Structure 1
Amino acid sequence: MEYFDISGWHDDSVKIEVWLDEKHYLERSDYKSGTVISHGSTGEKVIQNFPLCGKPVYLHVRHYRWYDKTTGETFSYTYDDLTAEGTKLTPEFVAFLKED
């Protein structure tokens, strides 16, 4: 929950869905540079996570996109520390988090 806010959820007899939006903050170096601005969000990615209470769990995840006015680069942050000890991320979730 350090990087994402839960913006919604739905639980019915068939599945559980959770909507996660990346928190709107700049990394310290980007904030200090003063040249990075928000540039919208990525399209929603739906990731099937591990079942909970016998139901499939779907995560609807959105990242912010950022624009560096100096370099003209558009980017999103990636996170390498999202696993709790003793757990693993699915390859699909890891690939999504590393996308720009």
Structure 2
Amino acid sequence: MEKQIAELILPEGMLDHFDIEKIEQGTEGQDEKYIHIHLAEKNQLPESYDPAEYESKGFTEPKKLIDFPIRNKNVYLSIKRRRWRHKKDPNRIIYNDYSHLLGSRKITSEFSAFFKRYSSKREPNRLKR
């Protein structure tokens, strides 16, 4: 039931790639209520890579994004992206590409920029601005 409700709230297809770790509700500032959804990327190597060559090496630092409000509550998404390291060349790190989740969907610009930043073909040293 929780997953069905989350599918209504989160961008379409999000739960195909991310698991909900926890959901918090609270109050901040001048009695502003919020919902904070913590998501972690599933352990799914990008399709074009050989699982014998790569291993999951944890997550990036969680990125806190602001999503559209729900019932007068601010909505925050903390998203942890998984990274995979090449077993023989530890400097080769890859990420999944979620640009297909963007399409013409209505999402915040911050959310869109977050997903555009990572691609399965990029390595961390090229991600830094």
* TM-score, normalization by structure 2: 0.66
TM-score of the aligned structures, taking structure 1 as reference length: 0.83
Q: Give the counterpart letter for 1:7 in structure 2.
A: E
Residue matched to 1:11:
25
Distance in 2 separating the partners of 1:52 and 1:84: 22
Q: Among all aligned residue pairs of Structure 1 and Structure 2, give the percentage whose two residues are the same amino acid.
A: 32
Aligned: 1:63 with 2:88: no
Q: Which amino acid aligns with 1:66?
A: W
Structure 1 segments, 4+ long, off by >6 Å, are none
* Bigger Cα displacement from structure 2, 64-73 vs 42-51: 64-73
1:30 aligns with 2:11: no
Structure 2, unpaired ranges of 5+: 1-14, 28-32, 119-129
Unaligned runs of 5+ in 1: none
Match in the other structure for 2:112: 94
What is the CA RMSD across the aligned residues, in angstroms?
Answer: 2.1
- Matching residue of 1:39: 57
Q: Please say if residues 76 and 99 of structure 1, whose CA atoms lie closer than 8 Å, have aligned partners that are also in contact.
A: no
2-structure distance, mates of 1:83, 1:99: 12
Residue identity opposite 1:68 in structure 2: H
Count residues with an aligned counterpart: 98
Higher relative contact order, structure no. (Cα contacts within 8 Å, ≥ 6 residues apart) = 1
Flag the structure with higher strand content: 1
Query: In 1, distance between residues paired with 2:60 and 2:84?
Result: 10
Amino acid aligned to 2:79: V
Name the aligned partner's letter for residue 74 of structure 1: I
